[in-house]
Structure 1
Amino acid sequence: MNTPHAKILTAIVSTTAMTGVALSLTGCAFIDKMVTTSADTWAVTYELSVDNVDGATVSNVAYRDTPDRATGQSVVKANQVDVSADGWKFDTLGVVGKDLSISAIPPEGVRATCKIMLDKTEVLATATSDAPGQPVRCEAVAPEFAK
């Protein structure tokens, strides 16, 4: 039937179906956000240090950042980071079960070391460049809390 009433009924049914799909997708995103905001999280510190007493500028730095419970994890990339003689540190959150990582490339003649710390006390991962000027990468999964 191609009557005006049939066209209106078809339009209402189509609109209702599309609204239902949109609401269900929004609901899934809302549920995922609720899971993230209520998940157990660690205080995570990423650290970079170099074997040069004067410090050095490392390049291609990338690390996973979760700035707060309401924000999802993203990969932050920096072309250059100045690592002083005392090292470089970045604090973020680590959601239990999610990947944590940091990587960098030191300049020629310099080795770099990375660390991933939990609650500023426990070393979760550490690595040192295989050779001067070679990349360094630390990665781990945020562990479950002790029960």
Structure 2
Amino acid sequence: MSARSTACCVTPLVVGVLALLGLFATVRFSGDLGKAWAITYTAQAPGSAPYEVTYQDTKGRYPWEDTGIRRHTDPGTTGDWRREVVMADGKKARVTVTPAKGAVATCTILLDAHKTLATATSPAPGRPAVCEAAVGP
């Protein structure tokens, strides 16, 4: 086989491999793979009595990371409460605010600190306010 015929066969192979690598890099590093959302939870309960806030987030954002839901509790909260977290695409954002006996609580879930995804108020004094929303497009 001559050098010219070898170059003729190798060149399309090299071009094909480079095209596949470019396609892989585009998919691997594009924003469509591993979408995550900035979520802001807020909670309020009037008065000075402490209340409890339970909320969830995800540790990772990419499919090869742990994107399982993690739950957190802030007991003994007073005043206005706010937490910014990351949620992987397709998960549910959730916050529960349990007020003191006789008090009413409110909660809100915001997407990118601006768009309201959910808001709720305690159905009765002493009962929790629960906000929940699917995260994604």
In 1, are the aligned partners of 2:40 and 2:82 still within 8 Å (CA)?
Answer: yes
Percent identical: 33
Counterpart residue number, 2:73: 78
| Distance 1:64-1:79 versus aligned 2 partners, 3 A rule | closer
Q: Distance in 2 between matches of 1:73 and 1:44?
A: 16
Q: Normalising by the residue count of structure 2, what TM-score does the alignment of the two structures yield? A: 0.66
- The equivalent of 1:111 in structure 2 is 104
Residue 62 (structure 1) shift: 2.2
Give 1:116 shift: 0.6
User: Aligned to 1:47, which of 29, 42, 49?
Assistant: 42
Partner Cα distance (2:111, 2:118) in 1: 10
Give the structure 2 partner of residue 5 of structure 1. none
Query: Which residue in the other structure is 2:6 paired with?
Result: none
Give the number of equivalent residue pairs: 103
TM-score where L is the length of structure 1: 0.62
Compared with structure 1, are the counterparts of its residues 106 and 68 closer, same or farther at alpha carbon in structure 2 (3 Å cutoff)? same
Cα drift, residue 63 of structure 1: 1.5
**1:125 to partner: Cα distance:** 0.3
Aligned to 1:143: 136
Check conservation: 2:106, 2:121, Cα contact below 8 A: yes
- What value does the CA root-mean-square deviation take over the aligned residues? 2.1
> Given that residues 110 and 117 in structure 2 are in contact (C-alpha distance below 8 angstroms), is that contact kept between their aligned partners in structure 1?
yes
Note if contact 1:115-1:123 (Cα within 8 Å) is conserved in structure 2: yes
Q: Which of the pair is proportionally richer in helix?
A: 1
**1:79-136 CA distance string (max 9 Å, x none):** 614131xx11111112222111111210012111011110101110000001211111
Secondary structure of 2:97's partner? strand
Q: 4+ runs of 1 displaced by more than 6 Å?
A: none
Counterpart code for 1:46: Y
